[in-house]
Structure 1
Amino acid sequence: MQEIASDQSAGEAVARVLDAFMAERGSVYIVGGAVRDHLLGISSIPGWSGLKVDGQPHDGAFGLSSRSTTPASTTDLDLVLCGPVLPLARRVADRLGWAYYPLDEKRDVARLIGKCADGKRLECDAAALRGDLRSDLLARDFSANALALRLSPDSSPRLIDECDGIADISSRRLRRVSEGSLSSDPIRLLRAVRLAVQLGFSIEHETRKQISAMAGAVVSVSAERLRQEMWKLLDCSGPDVGIRELDELGLLTHLLPEVKGLQGVQQSSRHHLDAYDHSLLATHYAGELRDWLRGGPALEDSILAQSLEPWAEALRTHFCEEIAAGHDRAGWLVWHALLHDTGKARSAAEESGGDAERLSSAGHQELSAKIAGRRVASFRFSRREVLLAGSVARRHSAPRRLVTALAEEEERIGPRVAYRFFRDAGSVVAGQQFVHGLGSGSARQPLDGLDVTLQAVSDLQATGMERGPEWGRFLRAVDGLFDYAFSRPADHLGAPLVDGHRLMEQLGLAPGPVVGKILRELAEAQASGSVTEVGEALALAEDLLAQEDDQTGTGI
């Protein structure tokens, strides 16, 4: 069933779904992250302010967050209640116009999905109690998640804490519920790192010890579950912190061995860090760009902020596009930065007797593309995402090479060069093709070259101890790429002025490579605006054919 958009706010929609379950079951329990995040002041549960903890009065957020306004409503609920749950969840979904999915019929777990007025996705997972409530909470992963809020139509909300979760939240400490909490489900090893980074918690000593001891068990987890946790981890603020924590706990070598392999790999003299620390610093800067593109904090680098500001709206439109459900281009910038140099480890091994300067050659980029594609595919990301990861890794140095090739008097990359760059990068949403036939009234084609360009920005930010004149020159030059992508009329991607049939008829040519070569030159000329009419295109074609005759010494 398709979820139906609602005219209600998130808080109103959440309140309605809670009321619907209580109307049929009486008491229900909200568990997990929604309760934890309410206490931290990250989000709120509608109707919960004054409350009781195990029957004793407490006020709101227990002093754990100083907030003058109520945070936005949670959009992700986990409920437990007396079963059977599946038929009840279906009735609630039908009544509210939400989508219904039976997640686990054996364990009696359902998911409801709706949308509120602002388009936000709302999720509610409803599960049957595993034994009694205490047993259910003791079976959870971490004490901060082992809290339950009891809701009943005829009494005030009551918070139940069986595992000292409130004390751990107050101390910003992530602690396993028991030793079996981690061994029963190894995905929790990775989740511990993600939650610690996401919430700003420290992982408790005994929990850390067990994660390190069990690190190898993470490979037994399904690729789909690993993908979900890895995306959430790298989507946190400061994704490089998460990678370092994975390494500290012994998980990195099992999850991203290619990144681990970059440690100690020396680079060219342009770099002040080895390939590993450089990649993590680039990942940090990519995270800043991602957050800015999503409407977050301003960029710290004032020169970069000033350079991108004229294109802010257009860039945000492009990078907010989802390549797959829940995965936008902005989020992928972090993955591009993390994986862009993974081929250098193998290049270093193959060239161990050579010069580190050679590692800047195109060879490592092709290796990086293959490695990035394989790693992304191993997590069962979509085909489009695999193609995009490989394409960006393969071309990540292209913008810098274009800038280096500019004549001293040139400040910006010109339209003809920009056309070639975007043509070669293609578009994963168009089968990796640079599609013609977009008239002035058509929607703009997403250009993967924009992803390559912002990856190059993060890469250069992480290169060298200081950003000298090269940094400003680079940003001024790539402004030509943004200008080409966003400012030129859509007609520059319109249907070719002259097609192959017309060209062969006009010039008396037979099908062959000369026709293809001339068509490519005409396309570049049209894209750069140097030809705008059919007659101009044909005249240029005749000149190009004459040049071809002169070079080959033959008449055609």
Structure 2
Amino acid sequence: MDWDIVTAGDTHAVARRLAHVLDGCYAPLHDRAQRVLVKQDEQELVIDVSPLQGSTIEEDVALRDFTVNAMAVPLTEAVSAVATDVPLTPILIDPLHGEQDLRTGTLRATSASALEYDPLRILRAVRFMTYYAFTLDPTTVTLIEQAVPRLAQVASERIHEELYAILRPAGATERLYCLDQLHVLTALLPELDVARGMLQPVLHHWDVFDHSLRTVFMLEALGTTLQQTPEEIAQSPFDIGGQGDLLALKELLLEAEEQHIFSFATLLSPQMKLAALLHDIGKPPTHAVDEEGNITFYHHPQAGVPLIRTIAKRLSISTHDGRLMQQVAAHHMRPGQLSQDPVTPRAIRRYFMDLGPNGIYVALVALADHLAMRGPEPLTIHWQRHRGTVRLLLTCYIRERDSILPPRLIQADELMRRYHLEPGPLIGQLLEAIAEAQAEGVVHSREDIFWFAEEKLHQLQSTGEK
């Protein structure tokens, strides 16, 4: 249980005293509010100490966000009641009838100005609905819709924290639709708005907007399925056609966890769900219809990368998470494309040279993308091929990584010194060519590499001059 303490006294002094008595840690939040952290067995007790707003506690709670948070009890009586397991109701200070709303599961704003005062409370409302199964009362819905434009005034770091909290638990797609119904989703991600109603080629059941949200649902469903028992996996609709692909994928992913190159927690993390949501963000700007009426989205994976870069900056998404999202957007089509022809060792090597261990996550999003494409329509042989290709990709990387990606025998700086080269794309092309030659057994030693590099360099430079 976390505690929020309001005092008319010195918050610094109160917090320091609590930390001393409870053997906790004192952590100032800002000029006025203070925090005390107390370790209790395996858990952590959080006590926030804030100054009284207004002249009375009734005035203070009236300034809170929602009525269920606008209740208080005198601290001494509260501690005594908790210690003796006595109900708090007789001593409850509840001027806005928050207890009644708590009993009925109603989330109600404390006042008409509560959401205008801090528009982040809009996202907090959806989070409370997520964690506590609250239902918004109609007046609060109206207040949220009116306050949405003010979200632009909220610090991006605060929005990022709340958005990740909303996406973290299972059932993220339902909450994304809730955000959309409140006109919040496209306020945060205006790039998605134009995707609404944008039709796709005939194999797609949903428009671009709904497909994007359904991909999050399918990522959760696939990630959950891959952690089930063999008997449950065999009953999954994703296991159509048998072939043991799903069970094999589960075993591969468990091995990858042991190698610390993958985790199911990351697969179902907020950043991966956001990556799944934005995987087709490049479709709207590349949408076209040819003379025969065929819908196309040529080069949409590449077009999505700068858009995600912009979104990541706007939402204060970390460099690590932003890079993963960009990789998903740029490469989510590759596993499906590989499934159309026999997969060569070179194609597998290039895939993981480009993506490294993140190629595992990209491949799984690609499967979720395929499932979301079909909607309620039955899966076909194309799903089986796609699934089998991902199994092959993961098998090669998780179990045969040394053979497809042998250790590099030479570094970029050595090539630059030996051949008097400047940093640039040519160095990357040269290193990639050497890596492929090494994996194919064309070169075996540093001497072989120098011979190969000189010949390849001449070839690349000649091509560049043309």
More helix by share: 2
Partner of 2:286: 347
What is the letter of the counterpart of residue 145 of structure 1? N
Partner of 1:268: 201
Shift of 1:241: 1.8
Shift of 1:213: 2.7
What is the letter of the counterpart of residue 65 of structure 2? D
Partner of 2:323: 387
- On the 8 A contact 1:321/1:328 being kept in 2, the answer is yes
Partner of 2:364: 454
Q: Alpha carbons of 1:388 and 1:337: their partners in 2 closer, same or farther (altered >3 Å)?
A: same
Shift of 1:80: 3.1
Q: 1:475 aligns with which of 360, 381, 387?
A: 387
After TM superposition, the structure 1 = structure 2 runs for residues 139-178 of structure 1, keeping only pairs within 5 Å, are 139-148=63-72, 152=76, 154-155=80-81, 156=84, 158-159=88-89, 160=92, 162=94, 163-178=96-111
Task: Write out per-residue CA displacement over residues 42-90 of structure 1, whole angstroms, 9 at most, x where no aligned residue.
Answer: xxx4xxxxxxxxxxxxxxxxxxxxxxxxxxxxxx543334531223323
- Describe the SS at the equivalent of 1:391: helix
- Describe the SS at the equivalent of 2:113: helix
Shift of 1:321: 9.6
Task: Write out per-residue CA displacement over residues 156-197 of structure 1, whole angstroms, 9 at most, x where no aligned residue.
Answer: 452425133333233222111222322322212232223223
In the alignment, does 2:31 pair up with 1:90? no
After TM superposition, the structure 1 = structure 2 runs for residues 68-79 of structure 1, keeping only pairs within 5 Å, are 76-79=2-5
TM-score by length of 1: 0.67
In the alignment, does 2:454 pair up with 1:534? no
- Describe the SS at the equivalent of 2:29: strand
Cα separation, 2, equivalents of 1:376 and 1:356 = 35
Shift of 1:462: 0.3
- Describe the SS at the equivalent of 2:296: helix
- On the 8 A contact 1:263/1:276 being kept in 2, the answer is yes
Q: Alpha carbons of 1:402 and 1:103: their partners in 2 closer, same or farther (altered >3 Å)?
A: same
Cα separation, 2, equivalents of 1:492 and 1:115 = 48
After TM superposition, the structure 1 = structure 2 runs for residues 355-374 of structure 1, keeping only pairs within 5 Å, are 357=294, 359-362=296-299, 364-374=300-310
Q: Alpha carbons of 1:285 and 1:114: their partners in 2 closer, same or farther (altered >3 Å)?
A: farther
- On the 8 A contact 1:174/1:202 being kept in 2, the answer is yes
- Describe the SS at the equivalent of 1:276: helix
- Describe the SS at the equivalent of 1:341: coil
Q: Alpha carbons of 1:312 and 1:515: their partners in 2 closer, same or farther (altered >3 Å)?
A: closer
Task: Write out per-residue CA displacement over residues 316-360 of structure 1, whole angstroms, 9 at most, x where no aligned residue.
Answer: 5545599xxxx9873211101111112222222xx3666675534
Partner of 2:49: 126
In the alignment, does 2:163 pair up with 1:227? no
In the alignment, does 2:248 pair up with 1:338? no
Partner of 1:70: none
Shift of 1:103: 1.6
- On the 8 A contact 1:287/1:333 being kept in 2, the answer is no
- On the 8 A contact 1:504/1:510 being kept in 2, the answer is yes
Shift of 1:378: 0.2
Identity of paired residues, percent? 26
- On the 8 A contact 1:415/1:527 being kept in 2, the answer is no
**Which stretches in structure 1 are left out of the alignment for 5+ residues?**
1-44, 46-75, 408-412, 427-446
Shift of 1:478: 0.9
Q: Alpha carbons of 1:77 and 1:538: their partners in 2 closer, same or farther (altered >3 Å)?
A: farther
Q: Alpha carbons of 1:329 and 1:124: their partners in 2 closer, same or farther (altered >3 Å)?
A: farther
Cα separation, 1, equivalents of 2:207 and 2:214 = 11
In the alignment, does 2:24 pair up with 1:101? no
Shift of 1:385: 2.4
Shift of 1:373: 1.6
Partner of 1:279: 212
- Describe the SS at the equivalent of 2:72: strand
Q: Alpha carbons of 1:231 and 1:499: their partners in 2 closer, same or farther (altered >3 Å)?
A: closer
- On the 8 A contact 2:211/2:373 being kept in 1, the answer is yes
Q: Alpha carbons of 1:346 and 1:542: their partners in 2 closer, same or farther (altered >3 Å)?
A: closer
- On the 8 A contact 1:140/1:181 being kept in 2, the answer is yes
Cα separation, 1, equivalents of 2:334 and 2:274 = 18
